[in-house]
Amino acid sequence: MASSEKSSHCRLIQKMDTIRRIVHKTVLTRAAIQRSHDSFSFYIDEASPVGPEQPETVQNFVSVFGTVAKKLMRKWLATQTMNFTGQLGAGIRYFDLRISTKPRDPDNELYFAHGLFSAKVNEGLEEINAFLTDHRKEVVFLDFNHFYGMQKYHHEKLVQMLKDIYGNKMCPAIFAQEVSLKYLWEKDYQVLVFYHSPVALEVPFLWPGQMMPAPWANTTDPEKLIQFLQASITERRKKGSFFISQVVLTPKASTVVKGVASGLRETITERALPAMMQWVSTQKPGESGINIVTADFVELGDFISTVIKLNYVFDEGEANT
């Protein structure tokens, strides 16, 4: 690691330690937490089949143009450049995970997927666990929010995988208003697993998906996105849950066609970044503010440090008190 990278990493560690001290008694639904969108997509494999959730038009496109089509798809499907370890080291503590079976897979494995297939799920979860084992006061959120081609036994396999890898590190589902770092540290919990499937009602350590609403703007227009985010916050958490603000733009088919060779990052994310980061920097965490903030390419625009710094409001509040 270069000296500049070491210095940057040390500053981040110091900042994270400070934030933990500030918010350790704060209920985490009131804190600002940084989340990556399609967290696993750095591993998207161009040699893999097309995911089962893709429309017939995409399937036909790939069947005609083969590898070339998949290379172009990856430019629009990969929303992150860092692996899990890199994201954790940079400060990401919340992961957006989408799980799929692979057609005609003789091993019947589970994979992360977004249009194309990514890494095996067990490998990604093990990578995150290695970080948690080395950093006993760190807490991560795992949000399993899309499932493709999965039957009941696939869910059973995933639940068993979580048990085998994380064991007693997982916090059972309780009232969201009870969860603080202080509570988690006292119980030696490091993982909260949100599971957007009825299966969550049958397993004590799975938090139901409705406790993690994530309204989606579905727009390419930064101005409309910001209007949507602001309106969503006004309506947020009437039931006392966690809450996600998705600071992400979604390309339309026409957008992809115009920038087919450039990709998501260059065509949309980098151009809209100043406006989106301006909105993030002016927010405050709390019952009537933001909670979890998600972004593409989380290394851009000081996204992580900007979200972390929003928590200093609690330090000011304690001083005033």
Q: Which are the contacts of 211, defined by CB distance < 8 A and separation ≥ 6?
A: 173, 176, 194, 241, 242
Q: CA angle at residue 36 from 284 to 316, to 5 degrees?
A: 25
| Contact call for residues 195 and 207 (beta carbons, < 8 A) | yes
Q: Within its chain, how far is the Cα of 69 from the centroid?
A: 26
Q: Give alpha helix (H) positions in the chain.
A: 3-23, 56-77, 84-90, 121-134, 152-166, 181-187, 222-235, 253-258, 264, 270-281, 303-309, 312-320
Torsion 231-87-188-199 (CA) sign: positive
The most distant pair of C-alpha atoms in the chain lies apart, rounded to whole Å, by: 66
Q: Give CA separation, 23 vs 50, 121, 173, 317, in Å.
A: 43, 31, 21, 11
Q: Which residue has the tokens 């799980």?
A: 99
Retrieve residue 163's tokens: 């048990």
Q: Is 135 a catalytic residue?
A: no
Torsion 125-82-180-134 (CA) sign: positive
Q: Which of 9, 24, 37, 154 is catalytic?
A: 37
Q: Which of 24, 114, 135, 196 is catalytic?
A: 114
Query: How far apart (Å, rounded) are the C-alpha atoms in residues 131 and 126?
Result: 9
Beta strands in 170-262 (DSSP E): 191-195, 206-208, 244-246
- Distance from the first to the final alpha carbon of the chain: 43
Q: Is 114 a catalytic residue?
A: yes
Q: Which residues belong to the active site?
A: 37, 114
